[in-house]
Structure 1
Amino acid sequence: MHITFYGAVREVTGSMHLLSTEQDRILLDCGMYQGRRKTAAEKNRVLPFDPGILTNMVLSHAHIDHSGRIPLITRNGFNGRIYCTRATADACGYLLPDSAHIQESDAEYLNYKTVRSALSQMRPGEAGKTSKRELQEIKRLLKKNKHGLNAEVINDYIKKFHLEGVEPLYTTADADRALKAFEGIPYRTPVTIGNNITCTLFEAGHILGSAISMIRCDDNGRSRTVCFTGDIGRYDKPILRDPASHFNGLGSDVDLMIMESTYGNRDHEPVIDLRPRLKKVLNETFDQGGTVLIPSFAYGRTQELLYVIHELYDAGEVPAMPVYVDSPLATNITKVFGEHPEVYDAETHEIFLQQGKNPFAFRQVQFTASVEASMALMREEKPHIVISASGMCEAGRILHHLRYKIHNPKNTILIVGYMANHTLGRRILEQGTAYDESGRKGEAPIVRIFNKEYPLEARVVKIGGFSAHGDRNEMVRFLKESNLNVKRIAVVHGEEDQSLAFSQHLKTEGFNAVVPRVGETLTI
């Protein structure tokens, strides 16, 4: 048996590993690389193998950095099944079409800019510059209405003038086709995924439906076991059960564990601090008449926030200001959460379900559906909370809220998740934190949103306890509390410094750990 590491190796996103035997090839995750636009586009378009060689696939969870390239393999020859939990399959039913829509919209906009630029150069006015009137005519020609683009006209011009157009990574039709390959299975239920190869999924505690995959290959009377953690979650978090510790029905020996290291050299704030920290931020902001903007992942983080805010409002610990979930995707994913109470922990059942309450719906929360409603909300000056995607501020409605609110010191930008390198979210976090540490002296740092500059006057606060990834101590806790005898650990899914540091830490704890490189193969 061989494991080749193709993605999320010495970096965080793009999870993808290939398990190979003489007869089968099983893909573990098929994630999208997220980062700088050009680099991401180049990495995502190239698959390191022909999808037609794959027997089946195992998906650890629905986050796009683990699932986002599935439509590429199903479009290019993959004819197997995608095994995951039922909750993950349901979540992907929204996440993959949404990802496809983003790909299509981005390509459409970039093509619009290309054609607009080409037409402008063909219509020079006085002094060699296109007049405002000419520019308006060009825009009217290429747009359907104030906000929509006329893709048919734009594509005709690209062909007519032999311009370099942009193709979406995949389309909505590709995503819909991919969803037909999903096979949702319950936790702790073995399923055959190859010749003498079975997979059993266990709770990972990271996100709704996330799973630790125990893959067992029986060959000539000998068993080999690979454990793929996907992403290990935190302990004592609301909503979900803790990561599994007992893997019943399997031998205790694990020949290779593929383990994440997103926070391999860091420790989170204790989970118990989440509620008081959020309470403090909300009260301080509301006291000065401000709004709290929360860039949030639509899947998981949004629902955790609603859960804790619901608790705070029920307890009367903060003023019950309006809460807006301004993300169609987050609205749909919240419905998925409501449809899978079987994965909730005992506390969620006790606090909410047994009281006849939905953890994610209460009187003050509103789900913003239309673009018009979202635009009206941006101009709202009364104190409120906005939870909006994307979580790293790279796209989506949160960008519009930021450009309307970022310059006002009364407002707070609350960071509740990981911000990857080279993202707007990381720049806001680092520059806002540095500005606060300087006593907010001098001019505020400048950030660019939609190619315009804005002063970062709003207060930037980070609450690290909301992270869905286990930190260094929690990942070691998982290893020590489980009934597994782990022979070797491949450390993946972390920036290089985090992966190397976590590998070294595991060695001091008595584990045999390595950090593979992209394309490297380990043999079992």
Structure 2
Amino acid sequence: MMHLKFCGAARTVTGSSFLVTAHGHQLLVDCGLFQGSKAVQERNYGDFPYNPADIDAVFLTHTHIDHIGLLPKLVKQGYRGPIFATEPTLDLARVMLADSAYIQQSEVERKNRKLARQGLPLLEPIYTVEDVRRTEKQFEVLEFDQPFTSLPGVRVVFRPSGHILGSALVTITSKIEPGEDRNVSLIFTGDLGATNRPIVPDPEPPGSSDYVVMESTYGDRDREEESGQFLRLAEIITETFARGGNVIIPAFAVERTQDLLYGLNKLIHHGKLKAEYVYLDSPLAIEVTEIFANHVDHFDEEAQHFRELAGDSPLYLPNLKMSRTVEESMALNKIRSHAVIISASGMCEAGRIKHHLKHNLWRPECSVVFVGYQAVGTLGRRILDGEKVVRIHGEEVRVRAQIHQLTGFSSHADQEELINWVSAFRKPPEEVFLVHGEEPAMAKLQQLLQEKLHLRVTIPSHLEEYELREVPGKVKEGMVIGAADTLSPSLWATSRRLTNALKALERAEVSPEEMARLLDGIDALRRHIEQVVTKQEKGVA
């Protein structure tokens, strides 16, 4: 059998990490940084819920920091095995992790100066740039559709997930028991991409898998069409410039920034927007953009076609200015109007974006445009939720700029796309585990998948463990226990198989062998119900 432990992104959006034990081997899928509230971030400083030295291999779905951000800590604490990902993912991971380490070291140095003056114990960063360099030595490329079979009895395959450049669905297949021919399979969506996104190809259909670990970020809502969002962005820019202000766009350095550059370039190319100055003020985003330009072969057909019209790379629009140095970034604070400033971090928790907000957020003629998800507890979320005054670098700043949110830019599949993707399985999976979402989004998606597709859907808690076999079973409760299912796992599974068999019977596609299994299922269901009723009657007595 296969064993699954939820080490992150359970009933929260960040910290994705899942431990799979298969055929005696321990595999880790993602090792992400927890972001958001202070309580959630505290998980970054504790011990891993496993021994890093016991892990046999790590597989990465993609390079966002909430999926890779604790890799250097994993290596620091004893992991010595390979870290597998696609080539673009590993190229991006090198710069993302180095940036994460630099931010941590800078924050700790700043806090330690204050602690030293108070005579208090000093802090240590979770990891350093040196830890990142050691981690890079364990990177190994595993391309799409290239099976990993180095661990006996285990097979791992990457396929495009359509989220960001190089992002992958991860399917793990293993023998149910040693010596048996039957397999059990588990697919991780990582972050599932939206359809018809710029630059990256659409996510591939799921194929077949017994179990699914699926993200649910937009499980409670559908997203607006991105083409309309770019036109709306053009309107916001034009209106803001007419008021004499700047447009500040907090953007994730990976994918969102490149999507913006690509879309703005198309608007300018088609005459929908004047070629005003656009400033990319993020050394990380600049590096990432260069990596994207080096992997044009991974772009989708539309981006390849636009490249022929726009030049060597469709990301480098006219009048694009890149601010690499601190001095160049500080100079932007003197610009009073007619500047579009794209800067990181996307949730406004760190980086140069905080300086640009400090200088423009209080000005009513300016606009701040959020084009990405803002986790609960972050500065971006507080601004988006309507706080009138926020604290930036120890100073209270009044929020007077116009605040806009454009949800169509998200590279996550929305509710309809998530349901459509699950419905494309060749046969219904035994169980779907929902992760990487806020609880209302997960609860709504769970309800819809149960009602529309008649699937068993579970929302696991942090550190919960499951045995994955023919009949799913929970091994260990997590830190937060939700309401119990109304049916036991074995009764539910039997009932669903019976329902599926009856549907097949109605289509006159049932063979004699299937009919025999159907009758066995009916008999097993009857016996199980009788046992439940007997236990209930004894309990009442």
Normalised by the length of structure 1, the TM-score is: 0.86
> Does the CA contact (< 8 Å) of 1:415 and 1:462 recur in 2?
yes
Q: Partner amino acid for 1:16?
A: S
Tell me the residue number matched to 2:509: none
For 1:263 and 1:387, locate their aligned partners in 2 and report how far apart those are by CA, in whole Å: 24
Give 1:28-39 correspondences, 5 Å limit. Answer: 28-37=29-38, 39=40
1:187 lines up with 2:147 in the alignment: no
Distance 1:231 1:246, change over 3 A: closer
Tell me the residue number matched to 2:313: 358
Give 1:229-248 correspondences, 5 Å limit. Answer: 229-245=189-205, 247=207
1:199 lines up with 2:156 in the alignment: yes
Tell me the residue number matched to 2:435: 492
Tell me the residue number matched to 2:462: 518
Q: Partner amino acid for 1:179?
A: E
Measured against aligned partners, the alpha-carbon deviations of 1:395-440 in whole angstroms (never above 9, x if no partner) come to 11001011111111111000101001111101111117xxxxxxxx
Measured against aligned partners, the alpha-carbon deviations of 1:425-473 in whole angstroms (never above 9, x if no partner) come to 01111117xxxxxxxxxxxx21211121122110001100001111111
1:58 lines up with 2:51 in the alignment: no
Q: Partner amino acid for 2:128?
A: T
Query: Shift of the alpha carbon at 1:354?
Result: 5.9
Query: Shift of the alpha carbon at 1:355?
Result: 5.2
For 2:406 and 2:310, locate their aligned partners in 1 and report how far apart those are by CA, in whole Å: 29
1:370 lines up with 2:325 in the alignment: yes
For 1:399 and 1:23, locate their aligned partners in 2 and report how far apart those are by CA, in whole Å: 47
Q: Partner amino acid for 2:273?
A: V
Percent of residue pairs bearing the same amino acid type: 37
Tell me the residue number matched to 1:176: 133
For 1:353 and 1:10, locate their aligned partners in 2 and report how far apart those are by CA, in whole Å: 44
Give 1:68-467 correspondences, 5 Å limit. Answer: 68-116=69-117, 118=118, 163-192=120-149, 194-218=151-175, 219=178, 220-245=180-205, 247=207, 252=208, 254-353=209-308, 356-431=311-386, 445-467=388-410
1:476 lines up with 2:390 in the alignment: no
For 2:123 and 2:173, locate their aligned partners in 1 and report how far apart those are by CA, in whole Å: 43
Tell me the residue number matched to 1:124: none
Query: Shift of the alpha carbon at 1:44?
Result: 3.8
> Does the CA contact (< 8 Å) of 1:491 and 1:516 recur in 2?
yes
Q: Which moved more, 1:304-313 or 1:184-193?
A: 184-193
Unaligned runs of 5+ in 1: 119-160, 433-444
3-state SS of paired residue (2:149): strand
Distance 1:226 1:271, change over 3 A: same
Normalised by the length of structure 2, the TM-score is: 0.83
Query: Shift of the alpha carbon at 1:38?
Result: 6.2
Q: Partner amino acid for 1:85?
A: T
For 1:206 and 1:42, locate their aligned partners in 2 and report how far apart those are by CA, in whole Å: 26
For 2:37 and 2:365, locate their aligned partners in 1 and report how far apart those are by CA, in whole Å: 31
Distance 1:38 1:224, change over 3 A: closer
Query: Shift of the alpha carbon at 1:483?
Result: 3.9
Query: Shift of the alpha carbon at 1:362?
Result: 2.4
For 1:342 and 1:293, locate their aligned partners in 2 and report how far apart those are by CA, in whole Å: 31
Measured against aligned partners, the alpha-carbon deviations of 1:164-202 in whole angstroms (never above 9, x if no partner) come to 110000011101111111112221111125222111111
For 1:208 and 1:484, locate their aligned partners in 2 and report how far apart those are by CA, in whole Å: 29
Distance 1:354 1:285, change over 3 A: closer
Query: Shift of the alpha carbon at 1:382?
Result: 3.1
Q: Which moved more, 1:410-419 or 1:361-370?
A: 361-370
Measured against aligned partners, the alpha-carbon deviations of 1:273-324 in whole angstroms (never above 9, x if no partner) come to 2221112111111222221100010011000000001011112212221111
> Does the CA contact (< 8 Å) of 1:310 and 1:360 recur in 2?
yes
For 1:42 and 1:181, locate their aligned partners in 2 and report how far apart those are by CA, in whole Å: 24
Tell me the residue number matched to 2:474: none
For 2:429 and 2:25, locate their aligned partners in 1 and report how far apart those are by CA, in whole Å: 24
For 1:225 and 1:520, locate their aligned partners in 2 and report how far apart those are by CA, in whole Å: 19
> Does the CA contact (< 8 Å) of 1:207 and 1:240 recur in 2?
yes
Measured against aligned partners, the alpha-carbon deviations of 1:355-407 in whole angstroms (never above 9, x if no partner) come to 53411112311110000110011111131100000101111100101111111
Query: Shift of the alpha carbon at 1:37?
Result: 4.3
Query: Shift of the alpha carbon at 1:228?
Result: 0.5
For 1:9 and 1:36, locate their aligned partners in 2 and report how far apart those are by CA, in whole Å: 15
For 2:110 and 2:405, locate their aligned partners in 1 and report how far apart those are by CA, in whole Å: 33
Distance 1:85 1:353, change over 3 A: farther
Q: Partner amino acid for 1:450?
A: H
Distance 1:94 1:484, change over 3 A: farther
Structure with greater contact order relative to length (CA < 8 Å, sep ≥ 6): 1
Query: Shift of the alpha carbon at 1:20?
Result: 0.6
Q: Partner amino acid for 2:170?
A: S
For 1:485 and 1:272, locate their aligned partners in 2 and report how far apart those are by CA, in whole Å: 33
> Does the CA contact (< 8 Å) of 2:193 and 2:412 recur in 1?
yes
Measured against aligned partners, the alpha-carbon deviations of 1:55-113 in whole angstroms (never above 9, x if no partner) come to 10111111010000000111111111111111101100100111111111111110011
For 1:353 and 1:193, locate their aligned partners in 2 and report how far apart those are by CA, in whole Å: 41
Distance 1:280 1:486, change over 3 A: same
Q: Partner amino acid for 1:452?
A: E
Query: Shift of the alpha carbon at 1:36?
Result: 3.1
> Does the CA contact (< 8 Å) of 1:244 and 1:482 recur in 2?
no
> Does the CA contact (< 8 Å) of 2:365 and 2:402 recur in 1?
yes
Root-mean-square deviation (Å): 1.5
**Shift >4 Å, 4+ stretches:** none
Aligned residues: 463
For 2:462 and 2:439, locate their aligned partners in 1 and report how far apart those are by CA, in whole Å: 12
Measured against aligned partners, the alpha-carbon deviations of 1:461-511 in whole angstroms (never above 9, x if no partner) come to 110000111111111111223545422101111112221221121101222
